[in-house]
Each structure stands twice: as structure tokens, then as C-alpha cells.
Amino acid sequence: MPPAVVMGDGLPPLFLELLGPDVEVVPWTTEPSSADARRIVALITYGHPRVDGPLLDRFPNLKVVTNHGVGVDHIDVAACAARRIPVGNTPGCLDASTADMTFALLLAVARNVVVGDHFARGPEFTHYDPAMWIGSEVSGSTLGIVGLGRIGRQVAQRARGFDMRILYHNRHRDTAAERELGVVWCSLDELLAQGDFVSLHCPLTPQTTGLIGQPQLRRMKPSAFLINMARGPVVQTEALLVALRERWIAGAGLDVTDPEPLPRNHPLLGLDNLVIAPHLGSASNRTRRRMIEMSIENLWAGLTTGQLSWSVQP
């Protein structure tokens, strides 16, 4: 029996190893030859390539789209459903690592970890001065979580260890989380006005695209910090640039940007009150292995039964 042919680019060695010899991986292309297109039975979306109706129509024998990650804003799930092609993702396994990264960025920007590191390595650090790089207290501060889903709940659990007051905003109240975690629901405007730290964990949808712009940043405290662990387009890039330059807010920590990556000459990259990471939310060893395992399990389920272990509904 010949190996199943799947299209995927940039797959790390571990992914290829766990796929095994029964899968042939071919490079990702939006314009395959007709002969190559007929061979493709699955798409592996690794690194957010765009999957839409015109792309799907190029592959007459496509049986499954398996996404390495939770967010599927790069996949037209409705178009897949219309063609009876199941879409799988990897929920749950990356919640803890993404919450860890949230606090890594939060602490780094609040306590000047990155600029302090650069200073400590530079020629100007010749003696200790207690007045240098005084940051903002995290313990006992107010954290506002926008999007109290699986990851948001994990962030709230960590915030409790810092004795933080925790506000959250969802479209619907989560009374179970309020009982279990002591979080308090409020409107987005109230959360922005009260939060010492505002952490974004909402999915990217038409409603959340551009959710944080100039009016929202103006509503935040001048001493507050914005953390974006959601998707880049949730925050309006130019508005954030102005807010950081003019110190409407104290700083920001970004794991995602719009566009991603930013152009190498983008002015955001020159700001000292911004800590930026290259989309590392789920980038821990155990989490990434589990994401690969779940992606492969979805792949084989799609090719055999069509019933995925972790599926996305339109």
C-alpha cells in the first residue's frame, strides 16, 4: 500500500519522525499540478498557511485538514464543511504553556527584564545603583483577562499565586469560574479602566478584530500594561504604537503581532517599553510534542473513519 500523501511545509524533524513511513509529505503549494493535486489526501497546517475554498477545490481527493494548534482563523472551516472535509485542531494541550508564557511576558515588561538584561551586559553598568530600572509591582495588582476560556482560566490560576485581583470580560458570564477562581466579571470598558495588567486571550473573529484601538488604550491607566497572547489583529498596531510612544500606557508584552512578523524596520521594534516574542505561547517541549501527536491522530482519523478526535465545527 503506497504512503498517504499529505501537503505540509516546515514540519520539524519530530513531526516527520512521528508521521512514520506510511506518510509522504510534499511541499505546500497553492498551485499544484493536476497530477500532484489528485495525490493529496490531507493538509497539515503548520505555521498558519491560508486554507480557503479555492485552495480546497484544487484537491479532489482531500479527506482532512489537520491544524497544528488551536486557533483556526487561517482556515475557512465553513468552506471545509461545505465540502465534507473535517478540520481538526489541538485544544487543551497548550493551555498551561501559553499561560506560562503570558506571565513570562507580564513579568518581563513589568520588571524591565529585557532592558535590564541589555544594560547589565553593556559598558555602562559599572556599579549598582538602587534607583536603576525600577519596575511595577505584580503581586497584589489587578489583572484584567479578556477571554476567560481554557487559557484565560489557566492565567487566572497563576494570578491567584500572585495575590492579584482578577477581573474578566466574556460575552457571557462564567459563574463556575467566579466560584472556583474568585474572578469578577465586568464590562470591557471597566476592565480596561481598572486593570494594572490587561491580558488578551480571545479568539480572532470578526467581532474581536481590532478590538483594542485608540479609545480602548486611552481608557487604560498610564501605569498599565497590555499583554497580547491572542492573535495580532485583535490589537490595532498603529494605535498601540502611538500609545506606547506617547506613554498612554506604561508598556506592552506581545507574543503576536499584526502583521506577523513585523517588518524589520517597524517602529514598534525600537521601543524600550515593549517586550516582544516570536509567537512562543505553546513553544515548550512537552506541549509541542503533544500538539504533533494530536495533529497526527486527527490525520489518521480523517483518512480512515472521518471522525476526528478533536474537530472544529463551523
* C-alpha distance from residue 244 to each of 142, 188, 202, 258, 279 (Å): 20, 20, 22, 16, 20
Helix-helix angle 95-110:113-121, to 10 degrees: 60
* C-alpha distance from residue 283 to each of 9, 104, 149, 274, 276 (Å): 18, 13, 19, 20, 15
- 158 neighbors 103 (Cβ within 8 angstroms): yes
Q: Tell me, what amino acid is at 47? A: G
Instruction: Give 251's strand partners.
Output: 225
Please enumerate in sequence order all residues whose Cβ is within 8 A of that of 51, keeping only pairs 6 or more positions apart, or say none: 43, 45, 65, 74, 75, 76, 80
Share in percent of the chain as helix, strand, coil (round to 5): 35, 15, 45
260 annotated active-site: yes
| Catalytic residue chosen out of the listed positions 169, 201, 219, 231 | 231
Cell of 129: 545603583
279 annotated active-site: yes
Cell of 123: 559598558
User: What is the C-alpha to C-alpha distance for residues 229 and 56, in angstroms, rounded to an integer?
Assistant: 30
| Catalytic residue chosen out of the listed positions 178, 190, 260, 293 | 260
CA pseudo-torsion sign 278, 279, 284, 286: negative
CA 267 to chain centre: 22
CA 272 to chain centre: 23
Tell me the catalytic residues.
231, 260, 279
